[in-house]
Structure 1
Amino acid sequence: MGEIKTSSLGYPRIGENREWKKALEGYWAGKLTKDELNHQLTELRLSFLKKQQDAGLDLIPVNDFTYYDHILDLSTMFNLIPKRFEQTSGDELDTYYAMARGNKEAQACEMTKWFNTNYHYIVPEMENKKPTLTENKPLKAYLEAKEKLGIEGKPVIVGPFTFLKLAKGYEPEEFAQLLDNFTPVYIELLQELAEAGVKWVQLDEPSLVTTLSSDEIRLITSVYNKIRTAVPSLKIILQTYFDAVSDYKEVITLPVDAIGLDFVHGYEENLSLLKEFGFPDDKILAAGIIDGRNIWKEDLQKTNDKLEQITAVVPVERLFIQPSSSLLHVPVTLVHEKELDSLVLSALAFADEKLEELSTIKKLILANSEQKQKLLDENKKIFDKISQSTWRSSYQKNEQQLLAKRTTPVTERQKIQQQKFDLPLLPTTTIGSFPQTKEVRRARNQWRKGQLNQADYEAFVNEQIKKWIDIQENLDLDVLVHGEFERNDMVEFFGEKLGGFVFTKNGWVQSYGSRCVKPPVIFGDVHFKEEMTVAETVYAQSLTKKPVKGMLTGPVTILNWSFERSDISRQEVANQIAEALIKEVEALEAAGIEMIQVDEPAIREGLPLKERDWEYYLNWAVEAFRISTSTVKDTTQIHTHMCYSDFRTIIQSISDLDADVISIETSRSAGELISTFESNVYDKGIGLGVYDIHSPRIPSVEEISIVINRALEVLPKELFWVNPDCGLKTRGEKETVAALENMVTAAKASREKLVEVKN
């Protein structure tokens, strides 16, 4: 049997204990110098490479490390610096972070979801600039790995087609010319790699799994023909992931040396295409057979069956075994998970464990029949215990509940609710959370460790609630929130109170920049156990005559932002969560809370990458939301919130949620979503985020007024709400109050103008 190699597409950046996050935030806070930041990040980067080297990985990725975001790295490397940052004081690193986070002079670049994941990238802006190669970062990464650790690294670079598809600032008809402009820059970059002795380079083209036109396929073919002609000696892996390739017959003819296919998330279709059309004899198949996006241990019997079908077409000697995508999307290691249930722990594999699994699968392929059976039998025992556990035998489907929906049309509900709440034009509110200060985090940490008793912790939380109710009253906001000071995370908090979830100690993953989240693990059947939010919300409402919103996270977001079980469908898991949440909604309503926000920021990110699959997903996602909100009275106003995704393509499904009010982020995209409403009628309350909460800068009244007035050109004034674009937990207290004060001032000014016009 020929040689088989193991490869990886990328490694987590954050470190076992989030050292990367702490270094970045230390630098931003002025606690680290630039030299200290560079030293710490270099040490981290080399330690990651050493781990992969020690794991016996044959092709180790380099250039997957970043100081913020890998797409932002390319933008700056290609000199795509928006004009508004040209006056940024300081050096290249200051400009880099200004693009990511904004500063006093300029608003940050737009941030949106990386395909259908919860990772956010910084959107490149063209601004009619012709790209130039200012620095070859992949080359620096390759040379560092080789010189410091003796590693013959595999530079990882997002390919030209995908990079441009992810960018903004051009018209569709300009795409071909822009791609032609980028091709020489990529060629220059790759030529420098070839001259330095690079053997393999990975060009990521995940856009190849989306729905493409025949013209786009011709453009891709033209680009890669030019690259091959200009750089004939460099071995190129054309890497796809997150789904099956859309134009398989064309893709496999591209002039590259290896093609990476996802045999996890696009398994059935990719396998079918492989069997039907074969695979070129002169190419290597980089087979993604380990899930790079979820945390479950490999079922070796299923993996073996999968490999047998793949190797029936492509011989082992022309195979790379690898994860289905970068391991950026999973936590780093299980070594710190000392408190997990032993059965749960036996089922998990984080990034380091997945690298070990690659070695195991390599052994499985090379083993004789007796050795192979022993490996399979040992692995099977784990999965038998899991499937037979009580974790997965408690759910009973509620057929009656699944059919429920609100019966009174929204137009009638609006009249009833306006009469009840008597809100002014352009009512102001926030999305839910207020700053999670050091004091808040310290108190929660002490409570969790048993250093602060329950009564004292509840008293502390109530103090914070009262403080911020008073602040909101003083700001003269119209609809208030309790601030969510008792919550660590908008998904983890609910998972801790619902049945079926388990929690890791160090299972952090990067969401955007230095923002890390620790997704809950849906291990069993989800069910309601006890009231989760009622006490804090009722207390807040007792402090004011203004309405206070109850705040919940919706079923699809809880699903998409958790590591979900894979033995049943995602739809079924979403419905289990929805049936648990409706009980909390009913409890809030019974306690007198009659504005309830059920946030669904992750509905759009879960949208399949192929348009043909959208309808099915959106139908069950909308159904799950409706299940979670379906039994309330007409006087109860249901809100929801969505952020940092392109919602223009799903505006009808957003309407189908039948929420009374929806708030959507638009600040970083300069209100581009507003244009959608020029051609789509939206008959429900809507708040478009009027300023960016992920930037430390305080927006002026004038800036906010521009967004409000632009929206009022296309949206009915009676339906328009004014709010920030997301929760405020990551911001400081002073900047939060200052920004909200400007927001309220701008809303009142616009309100007065509307009243004057009416009169």
Structure 2
Amino acid sequence: MKTVKKILLPTSTAGSLPKPSWLATRETLWSDWKLHGQELIEGKHDALRVALQEQVSSGLDIVSDGEQTRQHFVTTFIEHLTGVDFENRKVVKIRDRYDASVPTVVGPVSREKSVFVEDAKFLRQQTKQPIKWALPGPMTMIDTLYDDYYKSRETLAWEFAKILNQEAKELEAAGVDIIQFDEPAFNVFFDDVNEWGIACLERAIEGLKCETAVHICYGYGIKANTDWKKTLGSQWRQYEQILPKLKNSNIDIISLECHNSRVPVDLLELIRGKKVMVGVIDVATNTIETPEEVANTLREALKYVDADKLYPCTNCGMAPLSRDVARGKLHALSAGAAIVRKELTN
């Protein structure tokens, strides 16, 4: 198995970075594109270059496209599939949290051609650093649709898992080092996760030789998510429901939210032995962490995660933040990791 292990405590983001104002509305999650046609293609590539440069200049070790080529972390993938009608929309409750107008599954879902592979090839051409690419996970995909065809969450999830596996294999062939599946739904539907959700995720990674990750957080710093967090009490123990089974899964890396959250850090003991992307940057605030704050979160995590398996990361994506704030947080992430890296090697 290919391993990204060139440095102790390799840093990365969970996914999205803010888009430049000439591409989409500033500090707005899932904004419409401001460009069209060939201009949009070129604009996305320019934005990808900028996002890459932000990561490199901040000192990150594992880089990504910053999701500059995606409008939405789930539906942009679904837009490229057959069997889904984006004109026929229904209102559903996303992750039992907030209502959203979503497309409808009207027939067999399939992937006629790759979705992100050309963008991944473009990113691969821009850098020699390890690259990570994010895909939506099967359970989060089914939670972002109205199913009027299969009428079974599990059946549709298995279909998406097969499609994701096709995409993932092509991303691997394009030179992606880590393929990450975003599964915020894992923090909500615990019974389904343990009964078939993790198995679906393992179907999505079947046959891959690159490293694989699953990102399970408490969401972007939007009001619907922050309001939900206020209802979760003094301790957020959702991870306790799913980590034991994830530990025994074929997924290489588990990406979790930690900093400024009420997640008891000792829950990480449940996955000791796994590689863990520990969220040390709070994406729900404009306050920029100090390097020492980042270092403190890492020191706590190191009580439960072996140093050679700890990947400092952000709690979630940073698309809704200003570019200045996101840049400051990236620098803090890198500087905080450097502090602890020095402590571990002295």
Q: Structure 1-normalised TM-score?
A: 0.40
The one of 638, 659, 675 equivalent to 2:212 is: 638
Q: Is the 8 A contact 1:671 1:707 kept in 2?
A: no
3-state secondary structure, aligned to 2:320: coil
Q: Count matched residues.
A: 322
2:155 to 572, 576, 580: 572
Q: 2: CA distance between counterparts of 1:457 and 1:739?
A: 28
Deviations 1:483-506 (A, max 9, x none): 112211111111101112122488
Residue 460 to residue 516, structure 1, CA distance change in 2 (3 Å): farther
Contact 1:428 1:722 in 2 (8 A): yes
For residue 33 of structure 2, the aligned residue among 415, 437, 445 is 445
Residue 128 of structure 2, aligned match among 545, 552, 555: 545
Give the number of the structure whose alpha-carbon radius of gyration is greater.
1
Amino acid at match of 2:33: N
Q: Deviations over 1:141-176 (max 9, x none)?
A: xxxxxxxxxxxxxxxxxxxxxxxxxxxxxxxxxxxx
Q: Which residue is 1:587 aligned to?
A: 170
Alignment CA distance shift 1:602-1:681 (3 Å): closer
Aligned-partner SS, 2:255:
strand
Task: Report what 2:7 is aligned to.
Answer: 424
Task: Name the counterpart of 1:729.
Answer: 319
Separation (CA, whole Å) in 1 of partners of 2:99 and 2:39: 28
Label 1:676 to 1:562 Cα distance change in 2 as closer, same or farther (>3 A). same
Cα distance in structure 2, aligned partners of 1:715 and 1:653 = 17
Which of 277, 282, 289 is matched with 1:699 structurally? 289
Q: Which has the higher contact order (CA 8 A, sep 6+)?
A: 2
5+ unaligned residues in a row in structure 1: which ranges? 1-412, 608-613
Matched, 1:676 2:277: no
1:422 Cα deviation after fit: 3.9
> What is the TM-score with the length of structure 2 in the denominator?
0.86
1:348-387 equivalent positions in 2, closer than 5 A: none
> For residues 600 and 667 of structure 1, what CA distance do their matches in structure 2 show?
19
1:308-363, Cα deviation, whole Å (9 max, x unpaired): xxxxxxxxxxxxxxxxxxxxxxxxxxxxxxxxxxxxxxxxxxxxxxxxxxxxxxxx
Q: What displacement does 1:446 show?
A: 4.4
Are the counterparts in 2 of residues 429 and 479 from structure 1 also a CA contact under 8 Å?
Answer: yes
Query: Identity over the aligned pairs, expressed in percent?
Result: 24
Distance in 1, matches of 2:242 and 2:293, equals: 28
Residues 62 and 132 in structure 2, CA contact (< 8 A), matched pair in contact too: yes
Given candidates 68, 71, 77, the residue that maps to 1:488 is 71
Question: Any idea what SS the aligned residue of 2:146 has?
Answer: coil
One-letter code aligned to 2:200: A
1:476 Cα deviation from its structure 2 partner: 1.2
SS in 2 for 1:439: coil
Could you tell me whether the CA contact under 8 Å between 1:432 and 1:727 is conserved in 2? yes
Aligned to 2:233: none
Uncovered stretches (5+) of structure 2, i.e. residues with no partner: 26-30, 219-235
Question: In proportion to residue count, which structure has more strand?
Answer: 2
Q: What's 1:738 paired with?
A: 328
Deviation at 1:558, TM superposition (A): 0.4
Which residue of 2 is the match for residue 654 of structure 1? 246
Once the 2 structures are TM-superposed, how far is the Cα of residue 654 of structure 1 from its aligned partner?
Answer: 2.1
Equivalent pair of 1:519/1:561 in contact (CA under 8 Å):
yes
Give the direction of change, closer, same or farther, for the CA distance of 1:556–1:511 in structure 2 (3 Å limit): closer
Q: Who is 2:229 aligned against?
A: none
From 459, 484, 491, give the equivalent of 2:42.
Answer: 459
More helix by share: 1
* Counterpart mapping for 1:163-312 below 5 A: none
* Secondary structure at the counterpart of residue 244 of structure 2: helix
Instruction: Tell me if 1:627 matches 2:217.
Output: no
Q: Distance in 2 between matches of 1:508 and 1:488?
A: 19
The one-letter amino acid of 1:592's match is G
Return closer, same or farther for 1:508/1:699 CA change in 2, 3 Å cut-off: farther
The 8 Å contact of residues 120 and 174 in structure 2, kept in 1 or not, is answered as: no
Letter in 2 for 1:620: W
| 1:670 Cα offset (Å) | 4.2
Report the Cα distance in structure 2 between the residues aligned to 1:469 and 1:506, rounded to whole angstroms: 35
Give SS of 1:440's match.
Answer: coil
Deviation at 1:593, TM superposition (A): 1.9
Deviations 1:508-546 (A, max 9, x none): 77869xx98543322322111111011111111211110
Q: Are residues 1:598 and 2:181 paired?
A: yes
Contact preservation (8 Å) 1:661, 1:684:
yes
